[in-house]
Amino acid sequence: MKCLLICSYFDGKSTGSLRALSLAKYFNALGYDVTVYTTDHAASLLPGVKLEYIDHSLPFNDGSIFNRLYQIIRKTLYCLCGIEYHFSFRKLLSKNWNAYDVIWVSSPQPELLDFALKINEKIKAKIICDFRDGLLHEPLRKLNSLEVFRYKKLELSVASKANAITTVSKEISEYFLKKYNPNHVYTITNGFDFKPREKNRGIRDSLGSSDKVNIVYTGGISRSRSSLFNSLLTFVDAYDNLSCIEKDKLDVYFVGEYTPKEMDILRSRFTLVPKVTREESIQYQLDADYLLLFTGEDKSVLTGKFFEYLSAQRPIIAITSGGSINNIIHATKSGRCFNHDEFIVLNDYLLNLRKNTILNNDELISPYWRKNLNEKVVRIIEDEIN
């Protein structure tokens, strides 16, 4: 079987790349002929997988003036001038494309969705559109009215032309079913790469030796999703209501890159660790007694980081608004969830934390091992082809 995978991230370092990278490895292991098209020029080279770079730079959140200027021009072209999203790839689209049996495209970048649909007009493969986040449903940032109009048009095109739609959460799947009623919508969550208990644990090199209870948060906050900032405020309120004696029993680590506004809140209370590699971030998770998770106001959020937390098998302190993460944490017995207005309940919980908390929930979290999730994708492909 010849498979074409289209994605933005493919470096194996960011959690956003792991879904596509794991699927490419799995397809290759099954003997499929795999080609990956990516905008990621730091992409990982995989033996047996053909890698092609899309000669186009999607706007990443690097904060530079050039990036901001690019976004303004891009929005003007797409929203005001009516330019189609695949316009950025017009040279690549004009080439003679080989035949593929399956196209799998991962969003939330609208350009890549539109690009894949346009390719498929030429080669007539089975196409699966994968949503790691919603476009219109709980978007990563606030959208203007023109963007909403264009996204509706694109979602309708996906719903009418894709052979299958996969999403990371039940909420996004239900949104598509209710809004567009497409033929086949499946929920394939993100996951973790290792079997439970396969990773090294208990070294505590990253945190040092201490009698204090270690709480670890890894990754960005509002840089990842603007609504996460409210979750941070809930945790800070609960922490600030502890006595000095109780605070002294805790070491709280924030590992990542934070905005100046976040730094003002964090630096006077907690230990800040600059952004580290993904491997180092995982080690911090393994060395923790508890893991801290924010999801903001959105209920469909199921990030790759959450599943790395699951595989660390440390209790998760999650500040959420309900939804899929709450359901999975409860079903796998992986921690405790708190609403944004429950800082007093969270404060009481912080009073009773203990050291060396390792969960024994291997069977409960095993459905989220990527090998099991990739098997589901293969079954979807086989069903569509047959």
pLDDT level of residue 142 (50, 70, 90 thresholds): confident
pLDDT tens digits, one per residue of 22-33 = 999 999 999 999
Enclosing H/E stretch for 107:
strand 102-107
CATH class assigned to 2-191+369-385: alpha beta
Same fold, 2-191+369-385 and 213-367: yes
Give the pLDDT of residue 56: 52
Give the pLDDT of residue 113: 92
pLDDT tens digits, one per residue of 117-134 = 999 999 999 999 999 999
Region 274-298 average pLDDT? 90
pLDDT level of residue 85 (50, 70, 90 thresholds): low
The rounded distance, in Å, linking the Cα atoms of 243 and 253 is 19
Give the pLDDT of residue 316: 97
77-81, 90-94, 221-225, 238-242: which is most confident: 238-242
Cα of 141 vs its chain's centroid, Å: 15
Give the pLDDT of residue 64: 60
pLDDT level of residue 1 (50, 70, 90 thresholds): very high
* Cα–Cα separations (whole angstroms), residue 110 to 107, 125, 148, 248, 249: 7, 20, 12, 48, 47
pLDDT level of residue 57 (50, 70, 90 thresholds): very low
Alpha helices in 196-303, H assignment, sequence order: 228-240, 244-247, 260-266, 278-287
Burial 99-131 (b: 16+ CB within 10 A, else e): ebbbbbbbbbbbbbbbbbbbbbeeeebbbbbbb
Which CATH fold topology does 213-367 show? Rossmann fold (3.40.50)
40-54, 126-140, 209-223: which is most confident: 126-140
Name the residue with higher pLDDT: 111 or 377. 377
CB-based burial label for 310 (10 Å; 0-12, 13-18, 19+): buried
Region 211-232 average pLDDT? 86
The rounded distance, in Å, linking the Cα atoms of 294 and 281 is 16
pLDDT tens digits, one per residue of 325-361 = 999 999 999 999 999 999 999 999 999 999 888 899 9
pLDDT level of residue 111 (50, 70, 90 thresholds): confident
Residue 374 backbone phi and psi in degrees, to 5: -65, -30
Cβ atoms 289, 354 nearer than 8 A: yes
Give the pLDDT of residue 60: 46
Give the pLDDT of residue 193: 84
| Dihedral over Cα of 190, 158, 146, 88: its sign | positive
pLDDT tens digits, one per residue of 169-198 = 999 999 999 999 887 999 999 999 876 555
Give the pLDDT of residue 68: 65
The rounded distance, in Å, linking the Cα atoms of 360 and 284 is 19
Domain limits, the chain: 2-191+369-385, 213-367
pLDDT tens digits, one per residue of 72-81 = 666 666 655 5
**CB proximity list for 246: less than 8 A, separation 6 or greater:** 350, 351
